[in-house]
C-alpha cells in the first residue's frame, strides 16, 4: 500500500509541476522579471509564499501582497476574463487542498533557483 501511495503522490507532483511550468512560461511572457527579488512595485516573498492563500500566492504578491482581491485582479490581467476556467492549468489554483503545499514548494523552487542563478 505504501508503494501505491508513494507512486500516486509522485504522479500528482509531476502533474502539478507541469502546470507550474506552464504558469512560469506565462509569467515570463506577460511579466518578464516577475521572479526578481528587486521587482517593483512588489517582489515575491518566498518565505511568505502560500499558494493556498490568495493574497500570498504568486498572483497576490505580484499585485498587492496580503489582499485577497489582488489574486483576482492579477488573474484577470494575466489569464483574461475566463480566468476561472484557466487558473488550474497554470498551477495557481487547485480543487484539492492537498495540492497547495506542493504548488507552494514548486513555485518557491523556481523562484529561488532563478534568483540564485541571476
Give the C-alpha separation, 52 to 54, whole Å: 6
Q: Is the pLDDT of residue 4 over 80?
A: no
Whole-number mean pLDDT of the chain?
Answer: 90
The model's pLDDT over 42-99, given as tens digits with 9 standing for 90+, comes to 899 999 999 999 889 998 898 877 777 778 888 888 898 898 889 999 999 999 999 9
Backbone region of residue 36 per phi and psi (left: phi > 0; alpha: psi in -120 to 50; beta: other values): beta
Element (H, E) at 22: helix 2-30
Give the C-alpha separation, 87 to 62, whole Å: 16
Nearest to 62 by CA among 86, 87, 92: 92
Give the C-alpha separation, 11 to 16, whole Å: 9
Q: Is the pLDDT of residue 1 over 60?
A: no
Place of cell 513555485: 107
| pLDDT of res. 114 | 98
Amino acid at each position: 500500500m505504501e508503494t501505491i501511495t508513494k507512486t500516486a503522490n509522485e504522479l500528482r507532483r509531476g502533474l502539478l509541476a507541469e502546470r507550474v511550468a506552464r504558469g512560469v512560461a506565462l509569467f515570463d511572457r506577460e511579466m518578464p522579471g516577475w521572479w526578481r527579488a528587486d521587482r517593483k512595485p512588489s517582489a515575491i516573498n518566498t518565505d511568505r509564499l502560500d499558494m493556498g492563500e490568495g493574497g500570498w500566492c504568486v498572483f497576490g504578491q505580484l499585485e498587492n501582497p496580503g489582499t485577497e482581491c489582488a489574486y483576482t485582479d492579477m488573474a484577470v490581467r494575466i489569464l483574461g476574463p475566463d480566468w476561472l476556467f484557466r487558473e488550474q492549468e497554470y498551477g495557481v489554483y487547485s480543487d484539492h487542498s492537498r495540492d497547495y503545499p506542493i504548488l507552494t514548494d514548486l513555485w518557491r523552487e523556481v523562484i529561488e533557483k532563478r534568483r540564485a542563478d541571476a
